[in-house]
Amino acid sequence: MTTEINIFDTPQGNLAGVAIEMAPINGRSIRIAHSYIMTNEPASITLSLPKKVSLSELKELTDQLAGFVSKMEKISESHGT
């Protein structure tokens, strides 16, 4: 489980930064969420979930995505969106 957040020192237009959530699935790390952090609107989030997972993997993924949501809400609050 890894969250990578990159907030730019100077926004690039309306883009303030990006965030990526990685998860271990079947022995490799895959991106499950990607977000553009905007200066003037809510974050735009794209999900990339595997089509087949076990019940335990699904539980782990939903827990991890809930943590990503929490982090994105904090970032959005700090950017006024």
What integer pLDDT is reported at residue 31 of this predicted model? 95
Domain extent at residue 28:
2-78
3-class secondary structure, 33: strand
Beta strands (DSSP E) in the chain are: 2-12, 15-25, 28-38, 44-47
What integer pLDDT is reported at residue 81 of this predicted model? 60
Residue 71 token pair: 């982090």
DSSP 26: T
pLDDT average per 10 residues of sequence, the chain (81 residues): 90 92 89 93 90 91 94 82 60
- Between the alpha carbon of residue 68 and those of residues 10, 44, 58, 78, the distances in Å are 23, 13, 15, 16
Tally of structural domains, the chain: 1
What integer pLDDT is reported at residue 39 of this predicted model? 87
- The answer to whether the beta carbons of residues 79 and 72 sit under 8 Å apart is no
